[in-house]
Chain A
Amino acid sequence: MTVVVAVVAVVVAIATYLTWIARRLDRLGVRVDAARAGLVAQLAARAQAAVALAESRGLVSLAAAAEQALAGHAALRAGASLDNGVEDTENELSRALRAPEVGSAGQGAPELLHAVDSAAARVALARQLHNDAVRDLRALRGRRLVRMTRLGSRRPLPAYFEIDDALPARGGPLGAPPPGIGRPTRVVPGGAI
C-alpha cells in the first residue's frame, strides 16, 4: 500500500513539474513571437523612413536598399523566417544609412533624417528584445530534461537575428542624438544598447 502511495506521489510530482515546464515554454514562445513581430514592425518603419528620406533628397542607392528591404517585409509579416537572406538585406540598408552622403543630403530635410535615425535606434532596441527572448527560450529548451521529454519540440528552435545596426554618426548640428531611445543611451559614456 505504502509503495503504491509513494509511486503515485512521485508520478504526480513529475507530471506537475513537466506541466510547469511546458507552461514556461509556451509563455516563452509567446514572448519570442511578440518580440519577433515587434522587430519586423521596427524594420518596416526604418525602411519606410529611409524611403521617405531617399525620395525627398534623391538618394538613389539608399532608395534601392530600402525598397529591397521593404519588398521582403510582407513575407516576414506572414511568418517567413528571419534568415540569413533577411539579415543580408537589412545589413545593406544599415550600410546605406551610414553613407556620408545620407548625412549631408539629410541636412536639407532634418526632420526626415531625424525620423530615420530614431527608427534605426528602435531597430537596435527591438533586435535586442528579440534576441533576449530567443536566448531565454533556447536556454530552457537546452535543458536535458526538456530535450529528453521533447517538450519543446513542437516548434522549431528560434534563431538569433544578427545584423549590424550600429547607429549612424552624424556630424554638425544634426549630430544631436534623436529623441527617445537614441538619446539617453548616449548620455552615459560607453552606454551602448
Chain B
Amino acid sequence: MRVGLACPYTWDVPGGVQVHVRDLAETLIAAGHEVSVITPVDDADALPPYAVDAGRALPVPYNGSVSRVLMGPVSATRVRRWLREHDFDVLHVHEPTAPSVGLLACMLADGPIIGTFHTANPRSKILTAAQGALQPSLEKLRARIAVSEAARRTIVEHLGTSAVLIPNGVRVAAFADARPLPGYEPPRHTVCFLGRIDEPRKGLDVLLAALPELARRVPGVRLLVAGPGDVAAVRSRLDPPLRDRVDLVGLVPGEDKARVFASADVYCAPNTGQESFGIVLLEAMAAGTPVMASDLDAFRRVLDDGRAGRLFGVGEPAQLAAGLADLLGDDAARAALARRGRALVAGYDWPVIVESIVDIYRMVTAGADPVSLASAADA
C-alpha cells in the first residue's frame, strides 16, 4: 500500500509526535508498504530517505509548552507537490487540529484520509473556538485514531465526534538490548529522569526536591538526568553537597535513550500534569527498568493500575523519596516489576500496533479512489 504521512512538528526537534511518525513509517516500510513522510525540518540533511522537507516551522506557545507550527504559501506549495508526485492509496495526517502540515495536507487533499490525534487537552478554549473553522477539514477524515483515552475524550468533547483508540507503539527490541552508559556498568542506586529539564510539568523539580531525603535513606544514590534545557541553571539551584549526585547529561541522541534506561535501577516520571499517554514509561518497561511515576490518569492506565510500576502522589517529593528508597532497597520487587513491565509492553510493540493501523487503511481504501488534490475551491 502507498501511504503518505504528514507530520506537523519539526522533525529534528525531539517530540513524541515526530517519534511516533518515524516509528510508524519505519514499521510500515519493514512490513512492505511504500511510505513517504512530509514534515517541517530545520536541517534538511537530518531527514531520512523516506521523508520530504515542508519548510521551517515557527515556535509558538501552545497548550502550556512551545510547539512549532507551519502554515503558509511555501509549505502549501510543497504539500501540494508532494501529493501530486505520490499517488497515495491513503493519506494519514497527524494532529490535524494543529496549524501545520497535517492540517494543510488535510485541506489540500481529497480521498481516503485518516487522522491521528495525539493531544489530550481537556479544557482547550482554542480548540473549542476553532472547531467551526476546522470542521470542513476534519469532516474529510474517513477514520480518526486517538493514541490515548485522554486524547479520545478530547475529540469527543471538543469536536463532537469519536475516534478509534490505538495506543502509541514502542520499539521494544531497540530498548531491550541496550548497554549502560560508560560509568554506569553495572547501575548502582541510580535513578534516571528523561525530559526537558526546564519545563515545569515534566517535574524535574519534584525529583530534585525529593533528593535530600532520598540521599539520607540511600547514601549511594545518584540521579542521571537526560534531556534538553539549561543545565547550568539547574545545577546552580542544587545544594552544593548534592551536586555530585546529579549527573546532568543534557540532550541525548535518540539511540542513547535506551542506554539511559539501562544505566538506571529505576526510571522516575515525576510529571505534574497534561500527559496524555506516557510513552516513555513503556520505553522504560521495554528496557526492563522499573518505573516510579506520578499518579496521573494516563500513567495509572499505562502502569495497569500500579501493577506494572509504582505510583506516587502528583507533586509530592516526600512520597517520591520514600517510594524510591523502598524500591532501590528491594531487588526482588524491582525484578518483579521489570518482568511485569516486559509482558505488558509486548502488546505495544510497533509491529502489533501497525497491524491495527493497516486494518484501518484497508477499510478506508477498499473500493476507494487513491488520494487526489482537492480542487482550489476546497482549500
The answer to whether B284 has its CB under 8 Å from any CB of chain A is no
Q: Which residues of A contact B167 (CB under 8 A)?
A: 184, 187-188, 191
Instruction: Check if B166 sits within 8 Å of A185, measured CB to CB.
Output: yes
- CB atoms of A185 and B164 under 8 A apart: yes
- Distance (Å) between the CB of B337 and the closest chain A CB? 18
Closest to B368 in A: A34
Contact A180 B359 (CB under 8 A): yes
The distance from the CB of A178 to the nearest CB of chain B, in whole angstroms, is 10
Q: How far is the CA of A139 from the CA of B159 in the complex (A)?
A: 12
Interface 1/0 per residue, A11-30 and B, CB below 8 Å: 00000100110011001100
Is A72 positioned at the interface, with any CB of B under 8 Å from its CB?
A: no
List of A residues within 8 angstroms of B356 by Cβ: 180-181, 183-185
Query: In the bound complex, how far is the Cα of B167 from the Cα of A185, in angstroms?
Result: 8
- Interface size of B as a range: 35 or more
Residues of A within 8 A of B375 (CB): 23
Whether A183 contacts B165 in the complex (CB less than 8 A), given A34-B368, A125-B360, A126-B363, comes out as no
Q: Does B347 lie within 8 Å of A184, measured CB to CB? A: yes
Give Cα A38 to B305, complex, Å: 37
**CB distance A35 to B142 under 8 Å?**
yes
Whether B139 sits at the interface, judged by CB under 8 Å, is: yes
| Chain A interface, >50% SS class | helix
Q: Are B110 and A27 in contact (CB under 8 A)?
A: yes
Cα of A193 to Cα of B359 in the assembled complex, Å: 14
Q: Contacts of B347 on A, CB cut-off 8 Å? A: 183-184, 187
Which residues of chain A from 76 to 112 have a CB within 8 Å of any chain B CB?
none
Mask: chain A, 96-136; 1 = CB below 8 Å from B; 0 = not? 00000000000000000000000000100110110011011
The reply to whether A132 and B144 contact each other, CB–CB distance below 8 Å, is yes
Does B31 count as interface, using CB distance less than 8 angstroms? no
| Alpha-carbon distance A183/B354, docked complex (angstroms) | 11
Shortest beta-carbon distance from B340 to chain A in Å = 14
Q: Is A151 among interface residues, defined by CB-CB distance under 8 A? A: no
Q: Does B243 contact A (CB under 8 A)?
A: no
For chain A, the bracket of interface size reads: 35 or more
Cβ of B304 within 8 Å of any chain A Cβ, yes or no, is yes
A189: Cβ under 8 A from any B Cβ: yes
Most buried by B among A24, A34, A132, A184: A184
> A20 and B377: CB pair below 8 A?
yes
A52: Cβ under 8 A from any B Cβ: no
Q: B353 to nearest A CB, angstroms?
A: 6
Residues of chain B within 8 A (CB-CB) of A37 are: 366-367
- Cα distance, A36 to B110, chains bound together (Å): 18
Contact at A34–B161, with CB atoms within 8 Å?
no
Determine whether B364 belongs to the interface, using a CB cutoff of 8 Å to chain A. yes
CB neighbours (8 Å) of A31 from chain B are 139-140, 142
Judge whether A129 and B363 touch: CB under 8 Å: yes
Is residue A190 within 8 Å, beta carbon to beta carbon, of the partner chain?
yes
Which of chain A's residues has its CB closest to B162's CB?
A: A132
Given the known A-B contacts A125-B360, A189-B301, A191-B149, are A23 and B378 also in contact in the complex, defined by CB atoms under 8 Å? yes
**Which residue of A is nearest B346, CB measured?**
A187
Q: How near does chain B come to A133, taking the closest CB pair, in angstroms?
A: 7
Q: In this assembly, does A41 line the interface, its C-beta being within 8 Å of a C-beta of chain B?
A: yes
Q: Mark B132-174, 1 if CB is under 8 A from A, else 0.
A: 0000100110111000110000000000111011110000000
Tell me the minimal C-beta distance from B301 to chain A in angstroms: 6
Is B193 interfacial (CB-CB < 8 Å)? no
Known: A34-B364, A125-B363, A181-B356. A23 touches B139 (CB 8 A): no
Taking a contact as CB atoms under 8 Å apart, the answer to whether A188 and B165 are in contact is yes
Instruction: Return A78 CB to nearest CB of chain B, in Å.
Output: 15
Q: Which residues of B lie under 8 Å from residue A42 when comparing CB positions?
A: 363
List of B residues within 8 angstroms of A189 by Cβ: 301, 304-305
What 4 additional pairs, Cβ within 8 angstroms, besides A31-B140, A34-B367, A125-B359? A20-B378, A122-B363, A181-B359, A184-B167
